[in-house]
Amino acid sequence: MEPFRIVQALRLPVGTVQAVAPSLVHQAKVYAHEVTVAVPQGHTLYLDARQIPIDVTTLTGKYGEMVIYLTDFELVSLEPTPEAVVLGRYLGLQISVVFFPALLTRYRFIEARIGDYEDIPAFQDDYARVSAAYHELGFPLEPYEEVPLFYTDFGVFVLGPKAVEQLEAIAQVGEQVFFSPRVFSLVSFKELPASSK
């Protein structure tokens, strides 16, 4: 399926970490945490954190931007139901450049072979510079990596294979669906200044 065309840079979810609690403990070792995040829209997200490369217990009280995988839907439907009232749009496979406002327009011109935007090596250098500066942990998508994305009012989530399968069983790329998530997985967290709330 063709991806939904992105003409304006996508934003990642932002929120304040309210609590971090162990969720998977084996032989006195913690293998996973549940991270509770309040997002500006008045909702709370419960995130599974397993392989994030920082100590998640230090995030309590911090406000930041997150890359989150939606790994499994509890319910996804073309019509609202009592269990699925939140709206999302399936964007299909998108490349990581869609997260960088400073680069997206230039990339589209390169794609369309328009104007003075033909210096691809310079664009790639700029991509590397912006990507490296974008996230203190390194932006967790490889340059130009294609990933399936899901747009919501909370921000854009990356979809895991099971979530993609669930979506594609009922919807086409670009369609809106009503959903209830089962599992969100936190991949990275970038602290933002409180003044940016």
Task: Choose among 23, 41, 40: nearest CA to 32.
Answer: 23
Domain boundaries, the chain: 14-196
What is the pLDDT at residue 196? 74
pLDDT digits (tens, 9 = 90+) for 19-53: 998 887 777 777 788 999 999 878 899 999 887 77
What is the pLDDT at residue 63? 94
Q: Considering the entire predicted model, what is its pTM?
A: 0.88
Considering Cα of 108, then 155, then 88, then 22, what sign does the dihedral take? positive
Any idea of the CA torsion for 83, 88, 91, 94, to the nearest 10 degrees?
A: -100
What 49-57 contacts at long range (C-beta under 8 Å, 24+ apart), as own/partner pairs, is 49/20, 49/185, 49/186, 50/24, 50/185, 51/187, 52/186, 52/187, 52/188, 52/189, 53/137, 53/188, 54/137, 54/189, 56/20, 56/186, 56/189, 57/20, 57/33
Any idea of the CA torsion for 127, 129, 133, 138, to the nearest 10 degrees?
A: 70
pLDDT digits (tens, 9 = 90+) for 122-179: 888 999 888 887 777 667 788 888 999 999 998 999 999 999 999 999 999 999 999 9
